[in-house]
Structure 1
Amino acid sequence: MPPTPAAEPATRLDPRFSDPRAAAAPWSDAVALLEAAEVFWLTTVRPDARPHVTPLIAVWHDGALHFCTGPAERKARNLRDNRSVVLTTGGNTLGEGSDLVVEGEAERVTDTGTLRALAAAYAGKYGPAWTFGVGDGVFVGDGGEALVFRVAPRTAFGFTKGDAFGQTRWRFPR
Structure 2
Amino acid sequence: MDATNLAELYDLPTLDWDRIRAGLDAGFPQAPGAGGPNRHTCWLTTLGPDGSPHVTAVGALWADDAFWFETGEGTRKGRNLARDPRCALSLATEEFDLAVHGSAERVTDPATVAAMAQRWAAEGWPCRVDDSGQALTAEFSAPSAGPPPWAVYRITARSATALATTGSGGATRWRF
TM-score, normalised relative to structure 2:
0.80
Q: What's 1:31 paired with?
A: 21
Q: 1:61 to 1:162 in 2, by over 3 A?
A: closer
Q: 1:89 to 1:14 in 2, by over 3 A?
A: same
Contact map agreement 1:85 1:104 (CA 8 A) in 2: yes
Structure 1 unaligned regions, length at least 5:
1-8
Structure 2 unaligned regions, length at least 5:
31-40, 140-146
Distance in 2, Cα, partners of 1:23 & 1:135: 50
Q: Share of identical aligned residues, percent? A: 33
TM-score, normalised relative to structure 1:
0.80
1:18-167 equivalences under 5 Å are: 19-20=10-11, 22-35=12-25, 36-37=27-28, 38=30, 39-90=41-92, 97-124=95-122, 126-127=123-124, 129-136=125-132, 137-142=134-139, 143-162=147-166, 164-167=168-171
The list of structure 1 runs, each at least 4 consecutive aligned residues, that deviate by more than 4 angstroms after superposition, is none
Q: Deviations over 1:133-159 (max 9, x none)?
A: 244221122242001110021100110
- State the Cα distance separating 1:77 from its structure 2 match: 0.8
- State the Cα distance separating 1:12 from its structure 2 match: 3.0
